[in-house]
Amino acid sequence: MSGQKGKKILYIIFSIAISIALWTYVVYVGNPMLEEPMEVDNVPIEFTGEELLRDYDLIVSDIDARELTVYFGGRIRDISKVGDMEVRATVDLTDVLKYSEPTGTHALEYDLIYENTGTITVDRVSIPTVGVTVERLATKTLQVKGIFEGSVAENYMAATPILSRDSVTVEGTEAAIAKLDSARATLRWDNLAKSVTEEVPIQLLDVDGGVIDPTEAGITFVTADSVHFTQNLLMVKDVALEIDIVETQTVTDKNISIDISPATIRLSGDPEVLEGLNVINLGTVDLRSFTTAYAEDYQIRIPNDTDNLSGYTTARVNITIQDPAIEIRLLDTVNIGYRNAGAGDTVEVLNESMPVIIRGYDDIIGQVMPENIRVVADLADYQGRKGNFEVPARVYVDSFPTVDPVGEYKVNVFIS
């Protein structure tokens, strides 16, 4: 029984060998024609001439096929080589220029490229032509706005963004370009604590502020599609306002009240400028310039490279004498003279008398007599000049050093 089984196995092996030999003879010796064409899928379609179209202000907006299927025929031995060879198709887009109106949709023919060896032929293809839509090319330049989104560290604020360029140029179909309204570059950062510079992509926006995807819209950037975005930080600081005073014998900083409104202003600016700035001086008040109270508006002068966030441009300064023991008196004096007259100048004082205001403590000021008061005009700036002049003068209260003359005085003189 086992002998018969072995003979059967040998018979099967012999039959298979005979079949293989017969098939090999038919294919490689007889080499008959393939009964059914061989299908090659996903053959890529390449497009040339697009840059040349731009020279004619034309742009391809749509292509209905990017690949095709080719069915090859031929003898079996030759067809077996198809799987190893490169197959592709090319379309020359400049063929649209042969039409009187190149815009619109055109059915363009393609060239099928493959290595034609032996009996290989193209039996058929999946599509005879490729549909290509061409439109007029439009170009537009848009202003790019820099936007900072996020937050900054405490006591700082974001300065106006600085972009490496303020515009971008794009091109595409007239319809696509018509939808563009503006462009922006957005830097996003949380708790920014120092100035930064980053490369940021440019976004294209429609009239409603919606983002337009350039790839989907068929828009290309003529200039670069990104910018260098620099975001500087400004320090924010509250700075006090102050006034200097020139004290007298009776009125000092100990018996006056000073009120400045506003007392502080908020500034922003370069940290190097603001870090060392704690106070802004408005000016100087001579306490001899008023009797019991003073009120004046002063211009607030801020440093360069800073901005006034408070909105105040002037400050009101009020000074009041708080000591109730200080009194005011008005006396007329005839002691009116001059000094620093020019050599050879003859000076005549035209004032016969002059009212003078004095200020002092009540137990002293009552002792001052008119003869204790002198008014002296300084002619240093009038030497060699001839005529009538109103000359600034200084008042002295002799023998009473703790009594202050108050106010400004001028003496009328005639110089000949």
326-415 domain in CATH 3.40.50.1100? no
Q: Residue 299 has what pLDDT?
A: 97
Residue with tokens 């830097």: 187
What pTM did the predictor assign?
Answer: 0.61
Class level of CATH domain 38-49+62-128? mainly beta
pLDDT at 100 over 90: yes
CB 240 within 8 A of CB 257: no
pLDDT, tens digit, 9 for 90 and up, residues 229-246: 999 999 999 999 999 999
> Rounded to an integer, what distance in angstroms lies between the CA atom of residue 279 and that of residue 241?
6
Average pLDDT over residues 276-305: 95
Quick check: bond before 324 cis, omega within 30?
Answer: no
* Domain range 235-321, CATH class: mainly beta
Whole-number Cα distances in Å, 300 to 238, 245, 246, 315, 364: 14, 17, 20, 7, 40
Domain ranges of the chain: 1-28, 38-49+62-128, 137-231, 235-321, 326-415
Q: Which stretch of DSSP H or E encloses residue 177?
A: helix 174-178
What letter would DSSP give residue 30?
I
CATH topology agreement for domains 235-321 and 326-415: yes
Per-residue pLDDT tens digits for 33-44 = 777 888 999 999
Q: Pick the residue with more confidence: 409 or 13? A: 409
- CATH of the domain spanning 137-231: 2.170.120.40
Confirm if 373 and 356 have CB atoms less than 8 A apart. Answer: yes
Q: Does residue 22 register a pLDDT over 50?
A: no
Name the more confident of 117 and 380.
380
By DSSP bridging, strand 279-286 and strand 233-246 are parallel
Predicted confidence (pLDDT) at residue 82 exceeds the cutoff of 80:
no
